[in-house]
Amino acid sequence: MDKTTIAELFAYNDWARDRVMAIVRELPDNDLDSPFEMGHGTLRKTVEHIFAAEWGWFQRWNGRSPRRADCPQDFPTIDALMAACRDIAEQRNRLLADSTNADLDRVVVYTFSNSKQRLSNTLGRLMLHVCNHGTHHRAQVLNMLRRFSHQPPSLDLDDMHVQHLDA
């Protein structure tokens, strides 16, 4: 496992999250809470789930198996949720920066709050899972935004590279 690749995927994950959330934060509460038969039932719950998953996996990578009730959940605004997303991303990036490629082969043993079953995987594979998970749920959010007649932003990895070259 190569930490440079994982770092790039996390950079993409954060860039794509911020592009999507720039639109989400402008929506009225009735749009955020409109029911959908995808994602986690509403746009708000889906973006909160993206954060909760990143938070939960970060806890597991650090030897804790958190309960759902342990996860910060009280976000009065999308801006408050964004601050929490950026905070956990900063902590995750520090963990990755302090890791070596060999550290990514470390086996992480964990449980989920709804199960007593002990599971395990390498840190690197779990980090890849988090990146893929974010992509999956952002696609759901983009579909929800389309239903509100918003033109979703391009989330192409190449666009991120071009944008950074232009900056």
| Span 75-91, average pLDDT | 96
Helix ranges (DSSP H) in 67-149: 78-97, 123-147
Give the closest residue to 39 by CA, choosing from 134, 167, 166, 151. Answer: 134
**Residue 136 to residue 5: CA distance in whole angstroms:** 19
> Tokens 């402008």, residue?
26
What per-residue confidence (pLDDT) applies to 154?
Answer: 82
Cβ(72)–Cβ(59) below 8 Å: no
Query: Could you tell me which residues come within 8 angstroms of residue 81 by beta carbon, excluding any fewer than 6 positions away?
Result: 21, 47, 48, 51, 75
Query: Could you tell me which residues come within 8 angstroms of residue 158 by beta carbon, excluding any fewer than 6 positions away?
Result: none
In the three-class reduction of DSSP (H, G, I as helix; E, B as strand; rest coil), residue 121 is classed as: strand
Q: Which residues pair with 107 in a beta bridge?
A: 122
Domains and CATH numbers, the chain: 3-166 (1.20.120.450)
**Residue 131 to residue 167: CA distance in whole angstroms:** 24
| Span 106-110, average pLDDT | 95
pLDDT tens sequence across 123-164 = 999 999 999 999 999 999 999 999 988 888 888 888 787 876
